[in-house]
Amino acid sequence: MLRTISAISVICFLGLQYIYWFGPSGYTNLLTLTHKVNEQKIINMSLKEQNRLLLTEVEAFKNQTLEAVEARARRDLGMIAGSEVFYFVDVAKSEK
């Protein structure tokens, strides 16, 4: 009788341990979710910084500063002012 109760107790204990470690809300799932949360925090920090930079640029455009428009045109469209001279240096050919 005691042996049967001991065997049942061990089986119940092992079943509960399995649920604790590998169940849907178990320890391994907790570690996985914690890792995903930390990765998402890093992504969110990066996106917040990008948003801050874009907000600064939008504010500059709202204030209608010509420098902001010119800087954007130079960076994205390759604008060259009328008084400037553009020199193109082909690095691949000059290294040979």
Q: Where are the domains of the chain?
A: 2-80
Better-scored residue on pLDDT, 20 or 6: 6
Distance CA 22, CA 16 (A): 10
Confidence at residue 83, expressed as pLDDT on a 0 to 100 scale: 82
pTM strictly above 0.75: no
Q: Which value, in Å, is the radius of gyration of the alpha carbons in the chain?
A: 32
Q: What is the pLDDT of residue 47?
A: 97
pLDDT of residue 72: 79
**Predicted pLDDT of residue 69:** 79
CB 22 within 8 A of CB 28: yes
Return the pLDDT at 41. 97
